[in-house]
Amino acid sequence: MTDDELDQRVRAAVLSEQIDTARLEHSIRARIRRPRAPRRAFVAAAGVVLAAAGGLAAYRTFFRPQVPLICVAAAQDHQREIVNGEPRPWLSDISAIQSLAEKQGVPASAVTALGTTGYRLERARLCFLKKQIFLHLVYTKNNAEYSVYLRRPSGLFNDSVRGEETLAYFETSRVTAVFASHGADALAFARAGARVL
Amino acid sequence: MPHLGSLLRVARRLTVESASAEDLVQETMLLAWRGFHGFQTGTNARAWLFRILFNAFYAEGRKAQRAPLPVATVVEARLQEAVEIREALQALPIEQRTVLLLCVVEGFTCREAGEILNVPIGTVMSRLSRGRQELRGRLAPTRMKAPKAMEAKGAVG
C-alpha cells in the first residue's frame, strides 16, 4: 500500500468519527461572556499581603518589643529631675562637664558634638540608671528641655536609633546614649545626635 | 465557531478522555480569544489555533492517550476498519500520531506542522515516515489488503 493510500484510509477513518461541537461551542461562548475571574497569582498575592498585614498588626499588638529597662529608668529620672525639678547638684561649666565625661569614659568631644546639632548644653551631673553610672546632660531648644544620658559603649543597644518621640536610644563605637524629653521630640534629637557621635 | 471540529478531532486523539479533549479545546479557544491581538492578519488562522492547542496541551502536561479507545461490542462491519485504524493510530507514539493528524488528516504541510509543533521540518518528515511505517505494521494484514473492496462498498468514510 502506498503512502497516499494509507493516508486516504487514515483520513477517512478519523474523519468518520462523529464530532458534536454544539455543546462545546455553547460552553466556550458562555465562558467568553463571563467576566474574567481574577488570576490565581493575584489572589495568592493579595492573600499574602493580607496575611502579612494581619501578622504585623498582631505582632505590634501582642509582641511589641519592650523598651529596655535602662530607658524606662532614664525616662523616670528625666521626670523627677527635669520635669518635677527635684533639687540636684549640677555642673554648668563646659570644661568641668567635659572633664567629668572623660572620667566616665565618655569622650569630651561627644559633649560638644551634641551642641552642634542645634541644641544648647545647659548643665550636667552623674546619675545611676539601673545601677549603671551615666553622664546626664541637659540640653535645651525652643524652651524644651532634653535629657541625654551617656556612658561608654556597653552593648546595651544596637547601632540604629530606636524608640519613640519622647524616648530614644542608640549606641555607637564611642557611646551608649539615651534621649528623653517631656512632650518634645527626643527622637529627632537622637537622630541628629547619632550622626555626630 | 470556525475550526472547532478540527481542533476537537485532534484533541480527542491527544487526550485520555473526551472530557479532557473538550477542556483542551475550550482552553484553546479562550486563549485565542484573549490573545487575538497576537494574531497577525493574513497569516494562517487555522495553524495559529492549532499552535495554541498544542502549546496548551504540552503546557498542562496532559497525558497522551496510549490505551485504545473503547470499542462498541457490536460494530457494524462497514465501520470496523475505521475503528481499527483509529485504534492503531492511537497506539502510535504521540510524536508520530501528532504529525500524522496534522499532515494527513488536517492537511497541513510539513513546514506548517513544524511551525505548529515548533520543530524543524526534517523532524516532521521523519516522524511522518516512521508513523506511516509503524501504522502499516500495526494494521492487520487482511485490512491492508482489503481497502479497495471496502471503499467500493462505501465502507469507509
Same domain, A105 and A133: yes
- List, for residues A5-53, the tens digit of each pLDDT value: 899 999 988 888 888 888 888 888 888 877 666 667 777 888 888 888 8
Q: CATH number, domain at A81? A: 3.40.1000
**Cβ A170 vs Cβ A160: under 8 Å:** yes
Domain boundary among A62, A87, A103: A62
Q: What is the pLDDT of residues B11-62, one digit of tens each?
A: 988 886 667 888 889 989 988 888 887 787 778 888 999 999 998 888 876 5
For residue B84, the model assigns a pLDDT of 86
**A172 shares a domain with A101:** yes
Alpha-carbon distance B18 to B25, whole Å? 11
Of B5, B33, B156, the CB nearest to A19: B5
The mean per-residue pLDDT over the stretch A168-180 comes to 93
Q: Indicate if A42 and A100 belong to the same structural domain.
A: no
pLDDT score, position B96: 94
Contact across the interface for B104 and A9, Cβ inside 8 Å? no
Domain that holds residue A35: 3-62
A180 and A85 inside one domain: yes
Rounded to a whole number of angstroms, the distance from the CA of A40 to the nearest CA of chain B is: 16
The answer to whether residues A25 and A113 belong to one domain is no
Domains delineated in chain B = 4-59 (1.10.1740.10), 77-152 (1.10.10.10)
| Chosen domain end from A11, A41, A62 | A62
Set of chain A residues whose Cβ sits within 8 Å of the Cβ of B83:
13
Lowest mean pLDDT among A37-46, A60-69, B23-32, B105-114: A60-69
Q: Please state the ipTM of this predicted complex.
A: 0.73
Helix pair angle (B4-14, A3-15), 10° resolution: 100
Query: Are residue A80 and residue A159 in the same domain, yes or no?
Result: yes
C-alpha cell read off for B70 = 473503547
pLDDT at B140: 62
Count of domains for chain A: 2
Mean pLDDT of the residues in chain A: 87
Who has greater pLDDT, B152 or B44?
B44
Q: Cβ–Cβ of B147/A19 closer than 8 Å?
A: no
Q: Is A183 exposed, middle or buried (0-12, 13-18, 19+ CB in 10 A)?
A: exposed
| Domain match, A30 and A94 both | no
- Suggest the residue from A1, A2, A10 to mutate for an interface test with chain B (most B CBs closer than 10 A): A10
Sort strands A144-151 and A167-171 into parallel, antiparallel or unpaired: unpaired
Q: Could you tell me which of B127, B73, B10 has the C-alpha nearest to residue A11?
A: B10
Percentage with pLDDT > 70 across chain A: 93
How many residue contacts between A and B have a Cβ separation below 8 Å? 81
Percent of chain A with pLDDT over 90: 45
Find chain A residues with C-beta within 8 A of B53's C-beta. Answer: none
> Among residues B82, B78, B123, B76, which one has the least CA distance to residue B103?
B123
Q: Has residue A67 got a pLDDT over 90? A: no
Nearest to A32 among B9, B33, B83 (CB): B33
Distance CA B129, CA B134 (A): 9
Residues A102 and A151 in one domain: yes
Whether A55 and A73 map to the same domain: the answer is: no
* pLDDT score recorded for residue A51: 84
Residues A57 and A75 in one domain: no
User: Which pTM does this prediction carry?
Assistant: 0.46
When scoring A2, A5, A6 by the number of chain B Cβ atoms within 10 A, the one with the most, hence best to mutate, is: A6
The count of C-alpha atoms lying within 13 angstroms of the C-alpha of A157, restricted to the half-sphere facing its C-beta, is: 27
CB contact under 8 A, A16 and B156: yes
